Amino acid sequence: MARNYKAILQYEGTRYQGWQKQISTDNTIQGKLETLLSRMCGETVEVNASGRTDAGVHAYGQVISFRCTTEKTAQEIRDYMNSYLPEDIGVLEVKEAGERFHARLNATGKVYRYRVLNSTIPHIFERRLVAVYPEPLQEEAVRQAMARLVGTHDFKAFTSSKNRKKSTTRTIQDIHLERIGQEWQFTFTGDGFLYHMVRIMMGTILEAGSGKRSPESVEEAFLSGERKKAGFLAPAQGLALMEVFYH
């Protein structure tokens, strides 16, 4: 009988075409996992994630769920996956989940981190994990823009998605900034995030911090609901999914 499993993954997304499997390529995280688990179980296994990460985006705590029939224990499944997955994908934990558990549908919140190197000098050894923004940033303007993004808003202007049938209202509980030398680390905690939402919020924050827009323009973007009123799409490599919350 098929059992339902929950697993926590880490991956460096640099060389993958994002999370979601595609007909045109087998170079996706979901594709790699489904191929491996289907081989392990001798049946077609479908893997669901808490959310789809874009090409080049990383994860420290992506959550997946899948059903399969196997004699292996949860720990043996984890060890099998780590034996055969590429070196830039790792499984931290596998455990049996309740029958109704679904990694995406049951998620109640997420934490993303975005790393910015505010320097004209490249960061050679972490170039895949940080985005370089060379223009000087004013911390006060950065924090003012951050504060305006916190709360419950219609984030229609902060997504690249053209799907207007689904609600674009989300709640950002907190945006935390930590500075470590020339690196600025932004941590976003919210009940859910739209397609490209964190990267567009980051582009907006960086534009405010470098004087290209006012912090007050965040409110104008919310009111307009127009993508062009928000900031640029910040590079993928600075973004990582850190944690997913469930009740």
Task: Please report whether residue 30 resides in a domain.
Answer: yes
Question: Residues 23-53: pLDDT tens digits?
Answer: 899 899 999 999 999 999 999 999 999 999 9
Task: Please report whether residue 102 resides in a domain.
Answer: no
Q: Among 41, 66, 96, which residue terminates a domain?
A: 96
> What pLDDT does 123 receive?
84
Average pLDDT score over residue span 161-189: 94
- Do 85 and 124 lie in one domain? The reply is no
* Structural domains of the chain, count: 2
- Do 59 and 116 lie in one domain? The reply is no
> What pLDDT does 165 receive?
82
* Residue found under tokens 């397609």: 195
Question: Residues 8-20: pLDDT tens digits?
Answer: 999 999 999 999 9
pTM beyond cutoff 0.75: yes
pLDDT confidence band for 241 (50 / 70 / 90): very high
Q: Among 58, 73, 96, which residue terminates a domain?
A: 96
Catalytic residue among 26, 54, 79, 191: 54
Task: Please report whether residue 147 resides in a domain.
Answer: yes
Q: Is 191 one of the annotated active-site residues of the chain?
A: no
- Do 24 and 131 lie in one domain? The reply is no
- Do 28 and 115 lie in one domain? The reply is no
CATH number of the domain within which 48 lies: 3.30.70.580
Mean of pLDDT over the chain: 96
- Do 239 and 133 lie in one domain? The reply is yes
Domain that holds residue 89: 3-96
CA distance 108 to 226: 27
- Do 124 and 237 lie in one domain? The reply is yes
Task: Please report whether residue 103 resides in a domain.
Answer: no
Two tokens, residue 245: 């919350």
Question: Residues 70-126: pLDDT tens digits?
Answer: 999 999 999 999 999 999 999 999 999 999 999 999 999 999 999 999 999 988 999
Residues 6+ apart with CB under 8 A from 141: 208, 209, 211, 215
Query: Contact, 67 vs 59, CB < 8 A?
Result: no
